[in-house]
Structure formats: structure tokens, C-alpha cells
Amino acid sequence: MKAIPILTGVACAVGLLAITARSVAQETSTPVKPLEVRKVFANGKHNAFTALRRFKGDLYLAFRASDSHESATADVLVLRSKDGKDWKQVFTFDMAKDDRDPQMMVTDERLFLYCPCMNGKQLTTWLRSTDDGEQWSEAVKIYKAQFILWKPCLHDGVFFSTAHRKSNSGHDREVHLVKSADGVNWEKISTIRSGNWESETTLHFEQNHHAVAFLRQKLGNPPAQVLESDPPYSEWKARPADVSLLGGHSVHVFKGVTYLMSRFNKPDKGGFGSMIYTFAGGKLTPYCELPAGGDCSYPEAVEDGANMLVSYYSTHEGTTNIYLATVPLKAQRSSSR
């Protein structure tokens, strides 16, 4: 793949657009705006599906670089930055014709990069890892063929993730809860749901080990589901998510507040937008809309002092570019005893 130029510190204007549809207006009544949005990467092609982590003091940003959303050829690029302004490409993940949807997970000592990679209809998820951001391990196959590991995380010292099966048939789709002792060897715990166009499913653990899975249904209704389970996570209870759409979503907890960030329906402005919700008491509440439109979203975030840094992609400026937004964290009410 040819070298691709990286834009460093290019600021773009931020402005929220009015929403006319009443049902959508309720969902986009957001209390905060980004403090700043920077265009990180643009080359006139299609750059999308971000992963963002802080590792040993540096920011690492991964995304798919290709000619189009449906292109059969693509690589995953990894950029590194000290401050979120100046970025340098440090790695290219190239395991198949079409390398997609990077997922990152970090421990104190290692950065894990998982990518589902496709040769035609054949899909394999591969892992490469690093302890310094310079030298990367040999690639290792992860879990089962046709399954995409999605948003792996650590809970109580154990690696957990969901894994959804890619298929052109809704009846053949399913999403598993999986776990690992080392981030490499994964085993199935249970089936979260199957047989109805299951897709990206993001896992969140609450303090009492209660598990919440936010599921995207690729076709049909409802397009967004919340499924919940308690240890040993063998049974899952589903309910509607009460938002218009979940897609490319991630969950992060910063200073005790749980945030879910996702694509959402925005029919009057090119189809989609990118929204950050808070999640409390089982309810998703709009918190911040990012400047985005058209083919967009797939956000990730890291905590940064009183703010969060949010990576995402968008086509609202005509080409499909990678952006980094600075968003203030939700102020916490002080409790009196």
C-alpha cells in the first residue's frame, strides 16, 4: 500500500445542525458540544472504523484505509501521538485483501490489536500485539472462522468480549460471549442471541458484575437491543434500547460515568450522525452530538483530564476522514452525607 499523508493539527469548525423530525429531535437534544474537533487523517479516499487507546503515555489510533466503504481491498493503519495533535504512522496491519474494523485492548504491558480480515467471503480475526509500539508480534488467529471479536475488555483480571458471526443470512448470524486468560486463546461462555441478523455487540460490566450487551440488529426491528445477564452469564434477557439505531458503538467509563457512543439515524442530514450517550439506570440519554454526516461514526474514546478524546470518521466534508474531538466529561454532583 502506498504511503498516505497524515494531517497534523488541522482544526475544523464545529456546529450542531437543527433536527426537524420530531422523533429524532428528542434523541438529539444534547446538553454539550465538543470543545474542539481536529481532522487527523485525510487523503481523499475512505478512512473509517476507528479504535483509540492510551498505552504507556502515548495515544494509539487505528482505522481502516481503503478506496470505499465496500472496497474488497484495504489495510489497517496505526498512528501514534503524544498530544492528539501531531500523529505519526507506526504500523500497517496487512493480513488479507480486506483488513477491517480494528479493535484495541491494553494492559499495563501490552497493546493488543485485533482485526477481522477478509479474502472474498472468508473471514478470519487476527491478533498482533506490541509492548513498545515499535516491534509487533507475529499474527495469531483468534477464536473461530467468520467470527468478529468486538470491543474486548478486561473485567476482574479476565479478558471478555463479544464475537459475532458474519453471514449474508440472518438465520446464520449469532453473537457469543467469550473470555480469555491471556487475550489470545478465547472460549465461548454463552450465546447472547442468534438467528436474527445479529451484528456488532458491545459489552459493559457494572459494579456488581451485571453484564449489559448493546446489540446492533443489522436488518429488521428493533434495530437496537439491550441484553442483560448475571454470572455465570448463561441466560440473557432482551429489551429495546429505545434509541433509533446502534452501530459501530463502544462503551467507556470515565470518572464513574458510563458513556455509549454510536452511529444514530439522522434522516434529514445524509442518513446518519454520531452521538455520545450517557447510560445510567438502564437508560441511554443523549449527551453530545459530534459534527458528522453521511457515512460516519464508529467512535472510540480515552479519558484526558476533565475531557475525553473521541475518535470517529465522517463524510460531512465531502471525503471520508478521521477526526478527533475533545468533549467535556459530565460534571458530577457532589453528595452530602
Cα 119 to Cα 153, 163, 254, distances in angstroms? 27, 19, 38
Give which of 325, 152, 331, 313 is closest to 254, Cα–Cα: 331
Determine contact, residues 189/235, Cβ cutoff 8 Å: no
* 3-state DSSP assignment of residue 244: coil
pLDDT of 31 reads 84
pLDDT tens digits, residue range 26-74?
A: 454 558 999 999 999 999 999 999 999 999 999 999 999 999 999 999 9
pLDDT tens digits, residue range 270-326?
A: 689 999 999 999 999 999 999 999 999 999 999 999 999 999 999 999 999 999 999
pLDDT tens digits, residue range 212-257?
A: 999 999 998 888 999 999 999 999 999 999 898 999 999 999 999 9
pLDDT of 15 reads 35
pLDDT exceeds cutoff 50 at 20? no
Q: How many CB atoms lie within 10 A of CB 200?
A: 24
Cell numbers that stand for 131 in this block: 509492548
pLDDT of 7 reads 57
Q: Which residues pair with 117 in a beta bridge?
A: 99, 124
Model's pTM, two decimal places? 0.91
pLDDT of 220 reads 87
pLDDT of 221 reads 86
Cell numbers that stand for 279 in this block: 447510560
The order of strands in the sheet holding 271-280 is 250-254, 257-266, 271-280, 283-290
